[in-house]
Chains A and B, each alone.
Chain A
């Protein structure tokens, strides 16, 4: 039997969280170093899994199965395919950089890192679960620590409101999905939560049409789909930096991914029926999100709404149900994850020093924080789909997918590119260039080496993916291959 990589990945953060809780809370540096060691270990493992995944063979690999409640057909069943392998890597990346960026947290770092790691465990779990029950299990584990992280360490003005709003939204969503999942369990007659078995359950068309919206939209709430998106900017803004990174970088992908895995993969006929509606809503996400981001004056809200806009592209890619469009969506999940992690890291660094996120009050940050400015500019270019960077590599196939299905939607969605360019360029100029307000003179300290490592690491990923698409595209393509079979070769 091979080394159980996946269970080690899932439980590393969990175990690390327990270890961290055992350290004396006053010894903050030991807490940080332990956290970093665990995050590095998880990153290494996820890199290993990603690069050793046999993309020529495709399908689910690194399989592990342990019975848990055999009488209900529940087991801890883990495996990655080409769709989830990049997301596991993404989680590793965000966890690693998130720990680096949170080095400066001084208020109860022990509890902070512990909660953050429980969250990470849940996220890993959702991406690699092949058992429907376990997927929900990990999903709830991922959502709950979010509440505490935001409510305790968040931005004092809105944290309680935002934490409550976010948690309620997501719980309602997951309950709705759970109902759908249980319906599948009973209707299939297989008495198993094994998703690989459920894929071949041959559920009736009427059943699929009825239950698809429950499952899909329940999860898509976490993916930020319109009109259920408005928990997300509030949540992003209220959360502390590393949590925002996790939240926008990974958690929103969790929603999109679960909507794909449980919704589209288990109920493909339902997906075909509802695809036009999803496409319409995603279009609203893309265009409306971009316009709303344009008028924000809070630095973090700009990024928050840009996430809404970009996650719309992921949903849009799914809704095309074409190989090329879904490949793009898979790539966009990764690219957007890295990009927003970088954005929130940069915003956090600026906020920690200036103590304001109000754009008119900021300016001239490039002098004291040159690396942050460069990183933010690179992220901004990714976000506006500049060729040569990962965003273009992801968005282009999505658009090609839309062209195959509904050309007019591609034309409307493309307007968002210009709007995005405008708000990103304006934000860059107002925050980083121009005259620095007098009160900041001499008060903006340099960044820590840890921050530098995190920022450079994220930038390198975005650039290398944009220049060499072969670093990720074949993985996603092999995952999409399976999707296409399920959809009946569509």
Chain B
């Protein structure tokens, strides 16, 4: 037990990768064995992170369960991991969504072995980002996660769909989407990579806690420029990398493509966790490393956030593809996370105004909770889209209609999940969005006001989605014969159950999770 507790983070982090290695040696036609091994293997990190959650002391400041081992001594990078309330929440989200997504992919029949291996590698990649306390380790895991996702999209993505490029060149849509995802993210990370290298050269360390202090204390000139200028450039390099991942308008265009083409479980993880990596980067790196620049450019960030909220909602409303509708809703919802971050940035580091500080805290708490909540509801929504797509082989909203009587259980689940996404009081989305808006209001009043108008359209597109699928005149095509729509099955209900329970629990009693988040964001910067 002592060993377990003292190496808890490493165990959580590397267990999925080890399991992937084990699966590599299983025979590829034993599909059932592979599926169950993967599922069980992903439940263990979940159990461990629940243990982590119970042993975590939410009243203590700083990082806990810290482990540090030598790694790349020549460039002074160590394998340094640790959790605070922020990373703990995200790690829990990741370890929760992975087994759910693996269970959701039990219907995958093609090359199950490779699929499961990639999925478990992906989990290690994502967890590494959340747990890293060394800038280089952060980057290592940040990039590693791209590879499995790329292959999940272009190998198991939807087979239909052709994209016409310039000069009439045709390309399979999933290939287009996966390459765009990869190149977009890698290009976005270039600035991050270069800025990280610069920090490493400057301080001869990549250790985050010491960088927080030394980088902020730096003054004078650097490479022939004032430090403030260098910091501003580096700030934007970080911001662009993370904004692409979040994604923030106008860097969001890879997202609808990637989501639409990805296999169902891929979309669940993409929306549920991968987008959070970007927001986490803002919180873990941008705010603490660049408080002054963040304060200076808070207005610009808020502007982008509001654009994401408003345009995301409009774009979502305009879609006829169910999956694309849900994809754009992510842009809309993640906009609130950024709005909360921008509000906190605007208040700045040591503001003496008590009321503003309170608002800042509320906004940050809301932003982190919104990350968690969006993870739950987006994963749920994508799964539900997947469920109906698997039965009907269409995602076109105009092909559905009036399905509620045919599939009442599915309909009920879809409505509940949609309502969480819409922000219905009593469900989780309301809590976090309210907190963001409450926190941001006194700080960025006009932006918040516009964002709330955007919220109106959130309601509109979600109701549109529900209406087109469940209500209205029944499309007779699905009512009879071989096309008769079948009800959601037991496995699919088991996938949805934990998500729905959490949606409800957080909606009614958010204190248990906010307690953990609050201390972390107060310490954050």
Taking Cβ atoms with an 8 Å cutoff, the residues of A that contact B are 324, 327, 381, 384, 386-388, 392-393, 396-397, 399-400, 403-404, 407, 410-411, 414-415, 417-418, 421-422, 425-426, 429, 433-434, 469-470, 473-474, 477
Contacts and interface: CB of A to CB of B under 8 A. Distances in A.
A386 B179 contact: no
Nearest to B141: A387
Contacts of A473: 72-74
A410 B150 contact: no
A292 B434 CA distance: 53
A393 B72 contact: yes
A105 to B, nearest CB: 31
Could you tell me the dominant secondary structure of chain A's interface residues?
helix
B449 interface: no
B147 interface: yes
Interface string B143-164: 1100100100011000000000
Given A388-B140, A400-B200, A426 B190 contact: no
A42 B63 CA distance: 50
Contacts of A397: 74-75
Contacts of A400: 75, 197, 200-201
Given A387-B144, A433-B155, A421 B182 contact: yes
A432 B177 CA distance: 18
A21 to B, nearest CB: 43
A464 B147 CA distance: 18
Interface in B69-93: 70-75
Contact of A407 (B139, B154, B223): B223
Interface residues of B, number: 31
Given A417-B186, A473-B73, A399 B179 contact: no
Interface of B: 70-75, 136, 139-141, 143-144, 147, 150, 154-155, 172, 175, 179, 182-183, 186-187, 190, 193-194, 197-198, 200-201, 223
B346 to A, nearest CB: 30
Contact of A418 (B147, B150, B155, B183): B183
Given A387-B139, A403-B197, A403-B198, A421 B190 contact: no
A414 B183 contact: no
Given A396-B75, A400-B201, A425-B182, A410 B194 contact: yes
Given A386-B143, A410-B194, A417-B186, A425 B71 contact: no
A426 B171 CA distance: 12
Nearest to B225: A407
Contact of A404 (B140, B141, B190, B201): B201
Nearest to A435: B172
B140 A392 contact: yes
Given A386-B144, A473-B72, A422 B183 contact: yes
Contacts of A327: 74
A403 B143 CA distance: 21
A421 B178 CA distance: 12
Nearest to B151: A377
A388 B140 CA distance: 7
Given A425-B182, A429-B175, A473-B74, A414 B190 contact: yes
A259 B11 CA distance: 46
A473 B73 CA distance: 8
A421 B186 CA distance: 8
22 contacts: A381-B147, A384-B186, A386-B144, A387-B139, A396-B136, A400-B200, A403-B197, A403-B198, A404-B201, A410-B197, A414-B194, A418-B190, A422-B183, A425-B179, A425-B182, A425-B183, A426-B179, A429-B154, A469-B73, A470-B70, A474-B74, A477-B74
